[in-house]
Structure 1
Amino acid sequence: MADAFIARSLNEIQFWSRIMKEHSFFLRLGFRCEDTQLINEANYFYNLFEGIEQKSYSFREDVDPATIQQFNMEVHTAASHIWAFKRKVLGLILTCQLPGQTNFPLLVDHISREANYFRNRLFELNQGKLEPLQDAIIDENVFFLKIMADHAKFIGHLLDPSERKLADQAREFSHDFDQLLYQAKDLESMRPQSQTQPLLSQFLDQNRVSVKSLRDFKQTAKQLIEQCRIKSIIHPLLADHVFREAERFLEIIDMFEGALTYSGQQVAIRH
């Protein structure tokens, strides 16, 4: 049990601390030259999460769980602070106090949702109170389907308008994931009656197909951007960033399907 806690904690921190670091970089790119205070804050968070990321790789397998619990608390505090920074930036944008900056309000909201997800996960790990499987399947998919829908919208808006074919594909993915999100929200509102093994299994199967398609689209776009073969204002790191998040979602779906199959077998054995 202690080994699972350590492995899960470090896995979450290694993935999400890199994401938080990159969020700081993307925000900084969108600020105006005169926004020196905001730029300095973004730089602070970049360095903070780079340090956390490096530290997370320094722990040995036999580390004391109490040490990881303390580390989780430190990272939770950092995630809470970057969440507050992102919400502050969103407020400034929505009240028109940063005219000319280039961070979409939806993007700032998006990255603040990810910071909130990260800090909540660390809290749950430290409390030893992860959600029951059936609740986790629905809640994780609601969260990640919204993330994927947002990504498709960002890609569509950051491509050059002359990239008509790719922009159309991005819009199609946006619509597809909006529909999947609505379906997930319906399943959410129908629980606990909706939390049957057949319904949840179909839910995961359907989402996997669409996430794989979007992941492949992101991978192609990433390669085209890196090779300077398409016109866009998408930073190559952003292309890689959204690709990694789709990969993460697929890993979570696979984990859930395995756990759901196992729990179904257990029920069958008991009966």
Structure 2
Amino acid sequence: MANEFIVRSLDEIRFWARIMKEHALFLSLGFTYNEQKLIDEAQAFIVVFERIEEQLNGFTIHSDPKQVKAFNVQVYQAVANIWAYKRKVLGLILRCEIRSNNYALLVDHTSREAAYFANRLQELNEGKLQPLPEAIIKENVFFLKIMADHAKFIGHLLDPSERKLVDQARDFSHDFDQLLFQAVDLDSMRPESETPGLLDQFLDQNRVSVVSLRDFKKTARDLIEECRIKSNIHPLLADHVFREAERFIEIIDIFEESLTSNKK
């Protein structure tokens, strides 16, 4: 059990600390030149999460669980701080106190991911390692919205002349909105949702759609890196959203394995 706690903790931090660092970079690039204080705050978070990544290299699966637990607490505080920063920025945008190239939905999106990361660290330190059926649905609700958001951002950041890719992004946005609504409906139907096979079907359907979106993101990322399409998408942002789709697929795998184990 201690080994699983360590593996899960280090895996979450390895993935999400990089995501938080990149969020800080993307936000800093989106501010206008006269918002230097907000830029400086964002860049300070880049340093914070780079240090966390460096510390992470000092841990292994054989590390002391108490030290890993303390590290989780340290990372949790950094994540709580960047969450508060993101919500502050969102408030400034919504009140029209700043003009930014960061969409309000994008800032909200990044804050939801920070809240998710902080919650995962808290759950791990509380010993919650195995997903429950209701947790599976809620996790999918979270990630389906993330995927829907990504499709919307891609559609808006592509050059309007890239009509085929823009249309594809809009189609993905619509598809994931529908999957999200379906997941919310399923969540409200519990305990009826514990009907044998219903969660399996739910996960299978999500997997097909996420794999399709992941492949679209990979193609877009490669084209952006090769300067073969016109867009305002930073190459690192293209890779960033691709990695998050990959992460969702990995989580679906974990959930399906958990459901299979529970049936035995």
Any gaps of 5 or more consecutive residues in structure 1?
267-271
1:106 aligned partner: 105
1:243 aligned partner: 242
1:177 aligned partner: 176
Given that 2:131 and 2:258 are in contact with CA atoms closer than 8 Å, whether structure 1 keeps it comes out as no
State the one-letter code of the partner of 1:73: V
Using the alignment, how far apart are the partners of 1:44 and 1:63 within structure 2?
Answer: 29
2:35 aligned partner: 35
For normalisation by structure 1, the TM-score amounts to 0.96
1:183-222 aligned within 5 A: 183-222=182-221
The worse-fitting range, judged by mean Cα deviation, of 129-138 and 87-96 is 129-138
1:222-261 aligned within 5 A: 222-261=221-260
Using the alignment, how far apart are the partners of 1:89 and 1:195 within structure 2?
Answer: 40
1:67-78 aligned within 5 A: 67-78=67-78
Given that 1:23 and 1:111 are in contact with CA atoms closer than 8 Å, whether structure 2 keeps it comes out as yes
Cα distance, 1:57 vs. partner?
Answer: 2.0
State the one-letter code of the partner of 1:169: Q
Cα distance, 1:130 vs. partner?
Answer: 4.6
Cα displacement string for residues 152-177 of structure 1 (whole angstroms, at most 9, x for unaligned residues) = 00000000000000000000000000
Q: Give the match's secondary structure for 2:197.
A: helix
Given that 1:28 and 1:42 are in contact with CA atoms closer than 8 Å, whether structure 2 keeps it comes out as yes
Cα distance, 1:132 vs. partner?
Answer: 4.5
Cα distance, 1:261 vs. partner?
Answer: 1.4
1:135 aligned partner: 134
Given that 2:21 and 2:50 are in contact with CA atoms closer than 8 Å, whether structure 1 keeps it comes out as yes
The worse-fitting range, judged by mean Cα deviation, of 229-238 and 49-58 is 49-58
RMSD (Å), alpha carbons: 0.9
Using the alignment, how far apart are the partners of 1:74 and 1:5 within structure 2?
Answer: 16
For normalisation by structure 2, the TM-score amounts to 0.98
Using the alignment, how far apart are the partners of 1:197 and 1:70 within structure 2?
Answer: 39
Using the alignment, how far apart are the partners of 2:61 and 2:203 within structure 1?
Answer: 32
The worse-fitting range, judged by mean Cα deviation, of 46-55 and 168-177 is 46-55
1:56 aligned partner: 56
Cα displacement string for residues 111-130 of structure 1 (whole angstroms, at most 9, x for unaligned residues) = 00000000000001001135
Using the alignment, how far apart are the partners of 2:60 and 2:231 within structure 1?
Answer: 42
Paired residue total = 264
State the one-letter code of the partner of 2:73: M
Using the alignment, how far apart are the partners of 1:237 and 1:3 within structure 2?
Answer: 33
Using the alignment, how far apart are the partners of 1:230 and 1:146 within structure 2?
Answer: 26
Any gaps of 5 or more consecutive residues in structure 2?
none
